[in-house]
Structure formats: C-alpha cells, structure tokens
Amino acid sequence: MALIRILILVSLLLLEFNAAGSVEELEQLISTKGQIVFEDDFERSERDESKEQLDCGWVTNSKKRAAGIKQADLQDGYLRVTMAPHANHGVSVGHDAPFDDGVGQVKFRIHDSKVIEFNFNDPN
C-alpha cells in the first residue's frame, strides 16, 4: 500500500532542463515560482466508504482492472492506494494538470515491497 499526498505542481516556468543540463539549472528550475496548476491535500471524506469517491477530478482504473473493487481510498489526509488481489494490472490513479515546463512535488510512504511510479503523460 502507498500513502500519497500531492503538495504542489508548479508550471509556466520559462526555464528548461534536459539530460545535458547542469545541477545548477535543475536547482534554479525547482526554486523558480510559477503558477500552481493543481494541488490536493486529500483533507476530505468519501460519502460512501465502500466506493471510490476521490472527487476533485481524480480517476482510477479500478472499474476496468479490478472489477470495480475499491483500490484508492481517502484516509487521514492521504490517498491510500492498495492493489486488489485479483486485479489484472497495477493501480492507476490520475488527474489532469496541464503544463509545459513544471515541477511536481509529492510526499509519499511505501509500506510494502511494491513499487510506486509517477508518470507525466501527454496523450496528445
């Protein structure tokens, strides 16, 4: 299980960092303040604890990959993610956050030997 708290996603930075960039350039990118395009502290409750009701634009793959069994839960200000035993794919939890250049800041805990991945995906 993983506990996740999204702190801040900053965008509209006019700096670029690539694999050839320096550590100083990366530090400058991280410290530059921009426009917050999305943040969530998960300080809310689901209306029905038996269902995934993350709200605020969050989507999961539980319906398709775990026969609708709840795999994501709001608990004590965290998003708790636990893969259902019979799920045919890892849990995917997503949210739109449009930006070009940005910094993502996430705080998380892993309580087992499973892996956690963060992806920024532009399907277009």
Higher-confidence residue of 33 and 40: namely: 40
When pLDDT is cut at 50, 70 and 90, the band that residue 65 belongs to is very high
The yes-or-no verdict on residue 80 having pLDDT over 70 is: yes
The yes-or-no verdict on residue 122 having pLDDT over 90 is: no
In the prediction, which pLDDT does 93 show?
Answer: 92
Write down the domain spans for the chain: 2-110
Taking the C-alpha atoms of residue 24 and residue 92, their distance in angstroms, rounded to an integer, is: 33
Q: CA 12: distance to chain centroid?
A: 19
Q: Kindly report, residue by residue over 19-28, the tens digit of the pLDDT.
A: 446 677 777 7
What DSSP designation does 32 have? -
Q: CA 102: distance to chain centroid?
A: 14
For 65-86, give one letter per residue: b (16+ CB within 10 A) or e: bbeeebbbbbeeebbbbbbeee
pTM: 0.71
Q: Kindly report, residue by residue over 81-105, the tens digit of the pLDDT.
A: 999 999 999 999 998 888 777 777 7
Output the CA–CA distances (angstroms, integers) from residue 28 to 97, 99, 100, 101, in the order listed. 22, 18, 17, 13
